[in-house]
């Protein structure tokens, strides 16, 4: 799980921080994008330091893949912390009808001041988040365009442009790409489950077993339903074998090819084939 560290060596982080700091000077509000399946692990705590007092909204993306009950619990928990929070599906646009209202709430003071002075004020926004949370998808959705890959590699600079949104506000067309939170093995693991950290560096069978360990606690029914199991084996590796057997991942001697079973499980989890699953609880720190 260390390759993400390689992608984000300290020089990249410094450069990224500078770039985001530079962009921050030009915007009125930051849209912090997280993955609703792991709304805490997909945040980068450094952002608070970078943003300072600048208005911010938190957008929980991929709501369609996350547990509905936990979506509500997280929204409540973030709101209780005074964070303007919105739940969206950037693929379909669901939830985005509340976007302007939330931005206006976060910018209430500035908007009121401009109104008082009779000044025309066009808020400028930027989106930030770690890789794979859906930044490009959200930008394209807000811009009303089909697809265009926005710059997503640290250190790759190109000229920035403003996208005019339907509400008249302006959005920076390039997102701020934050590095994932390192150092906490639990966070790294959660990011690896969703594929936000690359697989080549991870032992897939171990990763699959660790995912099963978590899924069996709250989502045992989903596992039983997806893999047509009457009962879940107590040991995680045995359970992986059970799944492999059901899926015909067999090799010589009628043994289960657990590597293939692991790939299937991870793939299906990432594709939300097991249903809507959230991997964290809102113990908001």
Contact residues for ligand G4P, defined by CB under 6 A: 61-62, 64-65, 89-91, 129, 131-137, 152
Structure tokens at 215: 């899924």
**Least distance in angstroms from the C-beta of 100 to ligand G4P:** 18
Alpha helices for 107-134 (secondary structure H): 108-116
Q: Which residue lies nearer to ligand G4P by CB, 20 or 65?
A: 65
**Least distance in angstroms from the C-beta of 132 to ligand G4P:** 5
**Least distance in angstroms from the C-beta of 90 to ligand G4P:** 4
Report the greatest alpha carbon distance in the chain.
81
Q: Which residue lies nearer to ligand G4P by CB, 20 or 256?
A: 20
Q: Which residue lies nearer to ligand G4P by CB, 116 or 200?
A: 200
Q: Which residue lies nearer to ligand G4P by CB, 136 or 278?
A: 136
DSSP code for 103: H
**Least distance in angstroms from the C-beta of 152 to ligand G4P:** 5
Q: How many CA atoms lie within 13 A of 279 on its CB side?
A: 26
The CB-nearest residue to ligand G4P is 134
**Least distance in angstroms from the C-beta of 197 to ligand G4P:** 13
Alpha helices for 125-257 (secondary structure H): 135-143, 185-194, 204-218, 220-227, 236-246
DSSP code for 180: P
User: Distance between CA 117 and CA 112 in Å, rounded?
Assistant: 9
Q: Which residue lies nearer to ligand G4P by CB, 90 or 202?
A: 90
**Least distance in angstroms from the C-beta of 26 to ligand G4P:** 20
SS3 251: strand
Structure tokens at 13: 């982080």
- Nearest residue to 262 via CA among 281, 278, 249: 249
Alpha helices for the chain (secondary structure H): 3-7, 10-26, 46-51, 68-80, 99-106, 108-116, 135-143, 185-194, 204-218, 220-227, 236-246, 258-270
Q: Which residue lies nearer to ligand G4P by CB, 93 or 257?
A: 93
Structure-token match 């059970």, residue found: 242
**Least distance in angstroms from the C-beta of 95 to ligand G4P:** 9
Structure tokens at 209: 């077993």
Q: Which residue lies nearer to ligand G4P by CB, 41 or 107?
A: 41
């Amino acid at each position: 799980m260390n390759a993400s560290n390689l992608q984000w060596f300290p020089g990249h982080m410094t450069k990224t921080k500078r770039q985001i700091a530079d962009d921050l000077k030009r915007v009125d509000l930051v849209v912090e994008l997280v993955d609703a399946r792991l709304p805490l692990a997909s945040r980068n705590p450094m952002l608070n330091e970078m943003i300072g007092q600048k208005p911010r909204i938190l957008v929980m993306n991929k709501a369609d893949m996350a547990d509905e009950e936990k979506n509500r619990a997280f929204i409540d928990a973030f709101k209780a912390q005074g964070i303007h929070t919105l739940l969206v599906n950037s693929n379909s646009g669901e939830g985005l009808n509340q976007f302007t209202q939330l931005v206006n709430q976060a910018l209430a003071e500035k908007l009121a001041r401009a109104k008082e002075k009779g000044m025309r004020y066009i808020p400028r926004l930027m989106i930030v988040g770690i890789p794979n949370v859906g930044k490009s998808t959200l930008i394209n959705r807000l811009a009303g365009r089909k697809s265009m890959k926005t710059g997503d590699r640290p250190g790759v600079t190109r000229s920035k442009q403003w996208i005019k949104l339907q509400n008249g506000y302006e959005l920076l067309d390039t997102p701020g790409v934050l590095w994932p939170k390192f150092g906490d093995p639990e966070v790294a693991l959660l990011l690896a489950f969703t594929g936000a950290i690359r697989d080549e560096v991870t032992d897939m069978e171990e990763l699959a077993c660790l995912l099963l360990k978590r899924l069996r606690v709250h989502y045992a029914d989903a596992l039983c339903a997806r893999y047509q199991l009457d009962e879940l084996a107590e040991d995680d590796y045995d359970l992986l074998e059970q799944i492999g057997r059901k899926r015909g991942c067999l090799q010589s001697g009628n043994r289960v090819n657990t590597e293939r079973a692991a790939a299937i499980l991870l793939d299906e989890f990432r594709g939300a084939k097991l249903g809507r699953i959230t991997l964290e609880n809102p113990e908001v720190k």
